[in-house]
Structure 1
Amino acid sequence: MTVPPPDGSRDRRIEDPSNLWIIHPAGRRLLPFALRAGVSANSVSVAGLCLGTAAALAYAQYERPAFAVLGMLLSVGWLIADGLDGMVARATRTSSAFGRFLDGLCDHGVFTLLYVALAASMGTAEAWALAIAAGVAHAVQSSLYEGERARFHRRARGVGLAAPPRPTGGALVRLYDHVAGSLDRIAMPFERTLAATADPAALGRTYGARAVPPMRLLSLLTANVRVAAIFVATLAADPRLFWWFEIVPLTVVAVIGIAWHRRVEHALAAQGATAGRPASSFIVKEQKQS
């Protein structure tokens, strides 16, 4: 049985193991203290940025193993803050488009600082070129993954969309949401099927069960995996290993995972439309066969 987190915000089936056993439990332990202190979610995001900045400064001295370990510990602190800000926002009902943007900006900002610190410490044209290429790949991969994860959580609850959502807020917020939602139009056939079915909860459960494998693959695009990769690369005294990991293997993961996710949803949409039957009919048939 899959047990949801206390705030019901995440599906544990697609969570990174380090989130399940380390990052999120630590955040939940800190949440009561943050609420009593009246700390805002945005303040927690900024605190995470400060921890990430300290991690970048530590990793800049990666040739000394002790600083690589310190960078890892500070990075874990940043990851905890990155989860805690969302917990605070939900607990205080202060979630907003700007808060999502700030959270994303701090995440990308930390990695930008890490890339700059490592490239500057190496001091070669190759290092700067790899850092820039990896940074671009990371930004695209992470934004697409966030869109896929939000889509999964919403659909698994049986909530479909009749039309693609329109980005709102300021120019930068709209840009961030536009990248994260760039696949919305491709995903619309299943969205409309889910929105129109007679039993969206049942179809949502079927979708959730089938979409878990590609979403687990896509969870390799989380910051947690990248933090571990940075630590391994710096211990090996070669940050280039991390950048190549982002540019090649993680790009392959993104392409395969997104294509797999589209295949799952398109198959469900096609089954729901077969012979003009309502989308829920194939769910009933599937349940009888199990």
Structure 2
Amino acid sequence: MTMLVMGHMNPDTDSIVAAIAYADLASKTGKPAKAVAQGAVTPESDFVLKKFGLAAPEIVKEVAGQKLALVDTTEKTQLPADLDKAEILAVVDHHKLGDVTTPNPLEMWVWPVGCTCTVLKSMYDFYGVEVPKGIAGAMLCAILSDTVMFKSVTCTPADKAACEALAKIAGVADMMALGMDMFKVKSAVDGTPMRDLVFRDYKDFDMAGHGVGIGQLEVVDGDILKPYVDGLYEEIKKLKQEKGHHTIILMLTDIMKEGSEMLFVSDDKNVFKKAFGVEAGERSFWLAGCMSRKKQVVPDFQAKAFA
């Protein structure tokens, strides 16, 4: 049976490209595999795939009876509802361990780096498999995206080294110019429905029994989003009601200012004082230097907000 390789719901570029890369590597090392996704690609991912001649993965939302490899997540809230009826054979990730469990041993590569594709570059090297040119270019973009062009606190020397190597394979002479082109696409919001913007990079979490949703919009200039803040706020209010969550946060990340306006709806805004040491306004607050949901928001919120 062909193994399906999938990332989290509302897939970002790392989730999409990591699935493509691991499916390629697994197939070349004797484990036939196919990249799939739980949703359509974002404009940024579409730009990356087209630039490097790759096809978007097939959308799959039910996995009962399938053999799976998971990339970029181990959180059940971010995976298909019938996950327990599938067999997980491998995990490749760069986040904290979630609540996925397996009855049998599995291949597992989980590293504290800025991007799953950084881990995958080392896996290609470990198995002695050459990274195809197109996949190398897409992996480069995924790392630049996840590390916000090396500005994020999640960025490590391993991420930068992987980018240097992947750029050579892909024939990219100026990776930062490529990154800016990608982030310009990511910053384009005109004509996009508010719900699509909220879900462009959104994840659900179970924190001490409380439902928490955290989305992120990264733009090169925060002023781009000012005309849309009211609409985004109304959309996260609807989303909170639909999901029954305690808190929904939408990070409006300004790449140039290196910080995030945290738009929120919550049952108790005192959780932000506990988690981040700041007094929240009626619907938002600014976190200077905050670029990463994974390292600067989720850990503090999970450890302190509901303590």
Shorter-chain TM-score category? under 0.3
More helix by share: 1
Structure with the higher fraction of residues in strand conformation: 2
Larger-gyration structure (1/2): 1
Higher relative contact order (CA 8 A, sep 6+): 1
TM-score (norm 1): 0.25
